Amino acid sequence: MFKTLPVFQSENKHNVLVIGIFEEAPLHPEVEKVDNELHKQISKLKKMKKAKLGERTILYTMDNMNSETVYVVGLGKKEDSTTESIREGIASASKQLKRDKIKTVAFLVESFVSESVDKNDAAVLIGEALALGTYAILDYKEKTNEVDVNIEEVVLYGEEAGLKEAAQVGFTYGQGANRARKLVNTPGNLMTPTDLAEEAVVLAEKHGFEYEILEREEMEKLGMGALLAVAAGSDQPPKMIVLKFSGNSSSDEIIGLVGKGLTFDSGGISIKPRENMHQMKMDMGGAAAVLGAMDIIGTVKPNVNVIAVIPSSENLLNGSALKPGDVITSLSGKTIEVRNTDAEGRLILADGITYAKQLGATSLIDVATLTGAVIIALGDCTTGAVTNNEELMEDVLEASVETGEWIWRLPNYAPYKKMLKTSDVADLNNAPGRQAGSITAGLFIGEFAEETPWVHLDIAGTAWQSKASNLGPLGGTGAMARTLAQVVINKEG
């Protein structure tokens, strides 16, 4: 799909040539070549203030060059440019490529370079933004839209070696996020725990992962009382999904990625309001992020051992459903008083974390659409984090900077931990109150990580966007799929 050529030549033929321009900055010499071919139309756009971030203009070449059209993408002020802004600018062009059903496209890599983004970075961002910006949600209308990427060839103009490989890496990351998006956007009746397990098996077979799918009877024998309690209100059988990637046989270190796989959440007996409940098909966003990350890991194949664990169920209500006041026994042996059945994600993750440890995980990262409180605290652009280990937290933060997925660490002070011990009848209270709700929810999971290095990521705000952007349509974002993969790949030694 990707190929490179050293410098732009007007006789080379493409459906579209994509160029970036900055506000108040001289045109790059390579862009000036194109500008001259187009009778200074690009210079005129700059004078017309058409270089604001995300703004795009289509120029028709009128046979002045072999490319049929030129997409000129605004990148904002050059001194303010970041990987995030460049990614967004390229994604703006990618959306147009999708809309115009373009087959062949070329990018002038130098035009996207700034002090904070070198050529290699720009190539990665081109690949990533092509994947993210061309993603479309599959609908179920009688006449549906084509959702496959139409682009067959991407040419990168740039002299540096390795640009093709860099773009391919970026595209792999974008495709991993898109896999997560697809899972999140699938309606709950078509994405049951069984369906999610089948998706995991497809991924395992694609990359040669070992896998294990535990059924209800096996969970009962093992004592996975927390997952089974949540699943009791649904006719759909729960699943405990495990994928194993062994990238380093000489190491005993195993990174455990644990994703909340709640395929639909009504709140159970503590039922949610009806407004927007249809969006709760996204409550398996953590599981989707883990599977998206495993897709990236399986493609890149780093020299690292990884185990993915996904406890999966629905949270519905019937005569057998979990009730407020019930006491359940988790796989770890810890007992839990259920004060709120809508605080179910932490329950299934309790057994997921414990099982990952039993399978040999030496460090743990769990990711979950866990609390509405994190949306109040951080909005929809930043993921909340809680940890028991400074070194692992720094690894996650470093990876998040590389991928442009923002994370903010929340405190783990002793008073918050004490709030979890406020049950008179069990070891833990699953819902000790509204105060510090995201912190106590994360620390509840940490009770099961115990001394194992652990980071919790709450993506309740970032897993879903309520309006379309250049990087994707309304719905699932694939949040943290790229960051989880980056944490693992950065461990390669």
Over the stretch 320-360, which tens digit does the pLDDT of each residue have? 999 999 999 999 999 999 999 999 999 999 999 999 999 99
Tell me whether residue 295 is annotated as binding: no
pLDDT at res. 73: 96
**Two structure tokens written together for 73:** 């993408």
Q: What is the pTM of this model?
A: 0.96
Domains of the chain: 2-159 (3.40.220.10), 177-490 (3.40.630.10)
User: b or e along 386-407 (b: 16 or more beta carbons within 10 Å of the residue's beta carbon)?
Assistant: bbbbeebbebbbebbebbbbbb
Say if CB 298 and CB 306 are below 8 A apart.
no
Q: Are 67 and 15 in contact (CB under 8 A)?
A: yes
Q: Catalytic amino acids?
A: 272, 346
Residue 11: how many other CB atoms lie within 10 Å: 6
Residues sharing a CB contact under 8 Å with residue 398, sequence separation 6 or more, in sequence order: 490
Q: Supply the DSSP string of 141-168, one letter for each residue.
A: SSSPPP-S----EEEEE-SSTTHHHHHH
Residue 493: per-residue pLDDT: 65
Query: Is 342 annotated as belonging to a binding site?
Result: yes
Torsion of CA 386, 391, 396, 402, to 10 degrees: 140
pLDDT reported for residue 146: 47
What DSSP designation does 316 have?
-
The span from the CA of 287 to the CA of 368, in Å, is 8
Give the residue ranges of the chain where pLDDT is below 70: 143-149, 493
265 is in an annotated binding site: yes
Closest residue by Cα to residue 111 from 125, 101, 99: 125
Q: Would the annotation count 148 as a binding residue? A: no
Q: Which one-letter amino acid corresponds to residue 92?
A: S
* 344 is known to lie in a ligand binding site: yes
